[in-house]
């Protein structure tokens, strides 16, 4: 398998963490690309018409995307059980909440990096942060039980979301008012899979 990716992408990181946790890293060749929403890498566009990473090219040439589809595929392939049937809908909602946090946080980055400065709209940026921190607070208030017990994909997604907030939005204190989640993340981020995939730039 070939993973079209960028090491800094939190959506890619979810896939890489899962692959490490379930023993599939050696089966995946990583193909780094430099791409943005306004300048899509040609190889990526050929693999995924939406021009988004990650995309996973299978041995038979088929490509699957987005990150949640890829992680479900890898889970089935390895029979790892990170989408447990007895808690499936709860785990999927937890993963979706983490995805929403990530989507809002990434849009904040794009606003600063891609949109011309004269067109920046601070209320829009703050609206995205409200979505991101709202998701974080909802996890603290209603979903902590899902962060305990055997590893599931919701846990990985939440950890990657929180790691991205630290990476790209260090001046915004997501930990304030979320002591349980902060303590959980301090433990989870020490896993070898998280350390090995920690973005540097």
Residue 131 lies in a domain: yes
Q: Is the peptide bond before 54 cis (omega within 30 degrees of 0)?
A: yes
Residue 116: inside a domain: yes
Are 119 and 154 members of one domain? yes
> Would you write out the chain's pLDDT as a tens digit for each of its 201 residues?
999 999 999 999 999 999 999 999 999 999 999 988 888 889 999 999 999 999 999 999 999 999 999 999 999 999 999 999 999 999 999 999 999 999 999 999 998 888 888 888 999 999 999 999 999 999 999 999 999 999 999 999 999 999 999 999 999 999 999 999 999 999 999 999 999 999 987
In what side-by-side order are the strands of the sheet with 2-5?
A: 29-32, 2-5, 55-57, 63-64
- For residue 59, being part of any structural domain is answered with yes
Instruction: For strands 55-57 and 29-32, give the pairing.
Output: unpaired
- Total-model pTM: 0.95
User: In this predicted structure, what is the pLDDT of residue 114?
Assistant: 83
158 three-class SS:
helix
In a shared domain, residues 107 and 172: yes
Mind giving me the DSSP string for 1-33? -EEEE-TT-HHHHHHHHHHHHHT-GGG-EEEE-
- Domain range for 149 is 85-196
**CATH number of the domain to which 135 belongs:** 1.20.1050.10
Q: Are residues 107 and 183 in the same domain?
A: yes
Pair (54, 140) in one structural domain: no
Task: Please tell me the total count of domains within the chain.
Answer: 2
């Amino acid at each position: 398998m070939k993973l079209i990716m960028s090491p800094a992408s939190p959506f890619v990181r979810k896939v890489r963490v899962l692959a490490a946790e379930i023993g599939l890293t050696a089966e995946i060749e990583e193909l780094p690309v430099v791409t943005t929403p306004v300048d899509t890498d040609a190889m990526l566009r050929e693999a995924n018409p939406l021009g988004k990473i990650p995309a996973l090219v299978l041995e038979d040439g088929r490509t699957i995307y987005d990150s949640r589809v890829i992680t479900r595929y890898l889970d089935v392939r390895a029979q790892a059980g990170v989408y447990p049937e007895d808690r499936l809908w709860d785990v999927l909602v937890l993963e979706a909440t983490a995805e929403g946090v990530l989507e809002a946080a990434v849009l904040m980055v794009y606003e600063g990096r891609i949109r011309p400065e004269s067109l920046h709209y601070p209320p829009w940026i703050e609206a995205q942060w409200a979505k991101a921190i709202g998701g974080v607070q909802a996890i603290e208030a209603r979903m902590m039980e899902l962060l305990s017990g055997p590893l599931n994909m919701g846990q990985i997604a939440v950890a990657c979301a929180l790691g991205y907030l630290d990476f790209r939005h260090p001046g915004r204190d997501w930990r304030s008012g979320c002591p349980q989640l902060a303590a959980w993340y301090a433990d989870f981020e020490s896993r070898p899979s998280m350390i090995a995939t920690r973005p540097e730039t």
